Structure 1
Amino acid sequence: MTDVQTDPFADIRPYQDNEVQAAILRLIADQEFIDAIIHYRFPHLAGSFGWMLSPVVKFFLKRKWAKLNSVAKVQLQVAAFMEQMIAKSTTEVSCSGIEHLDPKQAYLFISNHRDIAMDPALVNWSLHQQGFATVRIAIGDNLLRKACATELMKLNKSFIVKRGAKGPREMLKNLSQLSAYIKHSLEEGQSIWIAQKEGRAKDGNDETDPAILKMFYMEGKKRGEPFSAYLANLKIVPVCLSYEFDPCDKDKVHELWHKQQHGNYQKGEFEDIDTIIKGIVGFKGRVHVAFGKPLSSIPDDADTLAAQIDQQIWQGYRLFPINYLAAGSTEQQPDSKTQELWQTRLNSVSPEAQVLLTKMYAAPVEKQHKLT
């Protein structure tokens, strides 16, 4: 593999075409990866007969992935999986605003963040459906504790955001490398997806962290360019994802409630993986992906720019009956089925946590009201 001396981004960038087959072979040889497939595909057989299924799964994967020798071919496999997943876990996926984009232009998509895997996957799906190239995806290294997770993500055009710096100097080095890589990707004609702040908005409060925007500028500052001019050249496009139902809402509320009561929350060893799977296969109802207009007029400071991005994201919300119901709004009268579904969701969490669930689903309505 390429080392960092000849490739300054070797330790964070996605795999290139000449690295795909070796990565796939490492995945198939990773017993933890094979065990995970058996566990989630054949849960009733995993315990007693896992040892029997293991060679069968490996043989199947070798045949299925034998001809995957480029990033483009991996992306086509992902697209086929997405089609099946969307059919099973949603009633509709819609898209708006893509007419403002040029298929020949690379963009920096800054998105609200509700689901670990599905947010960038649905952005990619929407772009792919309209004939656009897929994006490179920013993913935190906290989600890559397992070797197989790293292989999978880097095969799927993901690049690593290092979050575990041991001191200010290391943090500065990591952020500088990340800033340079984002600019390098855009100069290569590769669009980027990144969340508007670190971690999912578990309370539904989608607000851009100005620190993200300052990170983008680190490379510009090194080049001696003004903040507004450099950020304008990044072709920033705000993106808003709206899910009618959040498959992980109960877990988010549990975490928020635990933090309120105890001041912190310690995740289980496999909690992130379980959350990713639940988000992928869980029922989402209707989903909407709203692409904003590329930002052409960039202010001179990160706080004002963050507010501009927020405004487009909030305008992009697709509001569903359950949002109006949670917000107590009279703008749209929910039918009996929506009321029943909402009551079932409320009953799934403790009475004390119900207010947090209500705030989560009401937030998009309140944000749009804030704009008007």
Structure 2
Amino acid sequence: MVSDTDTFKEIRPYRDDEVAAATERLIRDDEFIGAIAKYRFPAFSQWGGPLLKAAIRLYLGWRWRNLASIRQVQLEVAGYMEKMIANTTGGVSYSGIEQLKPGVGYLFISNHRDIALDPAFVNWGLHSNGLDTVRIAIGDNLLRKPCATELMKLNKSFIVKRSAKGPREMMKAFSELSAYLRHSIDEGQSIWIAQKEGRAKDGDDRTDPAILKMFYMEGKRQKIPFNDYIKSLNLVPVSISYEYDPGDLAKARELYAKARHGSYEKSEFEDIQSIVQGIVGQKGRVHVTFGQPIGGEFEGPEQLAQAIDREIHTNYHLFPSNYLAAGQTAHIDPKAIELFEQHMAQMPQDLRELVLSMYARPVANKGQA
């Protein structure tokens, strides 16, 4: 008999019994070891390549020798997370987390500004408050390298088949995903998923009703009314705000190219570069708000999307960078004004309006909400 877990083998995260083999594959992966050498030891990676890689392999083999569960892997990640927060942020704060109950599976639907850090900061808050971490929805476009797949699946990520082509293949992929979300919630395992495909590069956080239609596919198959099924998913909107977005310049370049030329062609591993930039870049302060679970009656996905947007916009924590970009300088600390001016001075002249608009948009959205 095939277990439920094996039903989702193509998309699910790794289980405890798969950890040892996955870490061994990572240690043998030359590209993975090379990336560590390049980013961790840039001065030595040019001339000491083979020796440096051998040393990294030995170190990781020793460091990871006792990893035998996903929890142990995530505790290892937590150590790096703590250092990243100390070195690249002015502190991370949370609100609304006290309303979450241990052992309950929630479907956290979040605004999306950073590929890796958005779910990482959600996880940090949950972990710091004694709650279980989430299973993370990640597009297969980010898994072009075997080592990326290993790392993501070790960190409780499951795969969204964004590369599916044709109506039948897409329907099958989304039906499987919808069933997996249901399966996870029933197991008491929370989910993190972005409110739409891709990051909100212009700062305008909007929920795509197509995501909500996907949520309901399993409910529709079971002939459960839309509102009843949505309530059973424990849907919680999450607002993540960064005082400074380490990817703001790259996002502005993409928006500029689309406006000027009508399209933008990503380089092969641009998303991986964005992940690295997000991790190492300065973020200022970060705030995460867990909203109220979504209830009420909705006519359909479009009306539900509007309710989620209101919650995300209302709960978005505005920093001085947002107010200053929106031209609201009253009651802003002079030091914050100076920091913002220094940040904007680094932006090329032709991209400044785009960056300002990016930071200002949440002010307008919160006002309208």
Q: Does the aligned pair in 2 maintain the 1:100–1:294 contact within 8 Å? A: no
SS in 2 for 1:92: strand
- Separation in 2 of the partners of 1:315 and 1:368? 5
Deviation of residue 298 (structure 1)? 4.1
TM norm structure 2: 0.97
Deviation of residue 368 (structure 1)? 1.1
Written as runs of structure 1 = structure 2, the 5 A alignment for 1:25-174 is 25-174=24-173
Runs of at least 5 residues in structure 1 that lack an aligned partner in the other structure: none
Written as runs of structure 1 = structure 2, the 5 A alignment for 1:351-370 is 351-370=349-368
Matched, 1:333 2:339: no
SS in 2 for 1:142: helix
- Separation in 1 of the partners of 2:208 and 2:342? 34
SS in 1 for 2:332: coil
Task: Check 1:99–1:51 CA distance in 2 against 1; reply closer, same or farther (3 A cut).
Answer: same
SS in 2 for 1:48: coil
Give a deviation string over 1:196-215, Cα, whole Å, max 9, x none: 00000010000111000000
SS in 1 for 2:47: helix
Q: Does the aligned pair in 2 maintain the 1:247–1:283 contact within 8 Å? A: yes
Q: Does the aligned pair in 2 maintain the 1:108–1:236 contact within 8 Å? A: yes
Task: Check 1:135–1:6 CA distance in 2 against 1; reply closer, same or farther (3 A cut).
Answer: closer
- Separation in 2 of the partners of 1:25 and 1:228? 45
Task: Check 1:138–1:70 CA distance in 2 against 1; reply closer, same or farther (3 A cut).
Answer: same
Deviation of residue 97 (structure 1)? 0.5
Give a deviation string over 1:324-363, Cα, whole Å, max 9, x none: 1100125x43333333332333333332221110111001
- Separation in 1 of the partners of 2:209 and 2:2? 32
Deviation of residue 264 (structure 1)? 1.2
Runs of at least 5 residues in structure 2 that lack an aligned partner in the other structure: none
- Separation in 2 of the partners of 1:294 and 1:360? 28
TM norm structure 1: 0.96
Paired residue for 2:245? 246
Deviation of residue 6 (structure 1)? 8.1
Runs of 4 or more, structure 1, over 6 Å off, are 2-6
- Separation in 2 of the partners of 1:298 and 1:112? 23
- Separation in 2 of the partners of 1:286 and 1:29? 37
How many residue pairs get aligned? The number is 369
- Separation in 1 of the partners of 2:297 and 2:262? 38
Give a deviation string over 1:178-227, Cα, whole Å, max 9, x none: 11111111111100000000000010000111000000001111111111
Identical amino acids, percent of aligned pairs: 57
Moved more, 156-165 or 350-359: 350-359
- Separation in 1 of the partners of 2:121 and 2:190? 15
Name the amino acid aligned to 1:336: P
SS in 1 for 2:109: strand
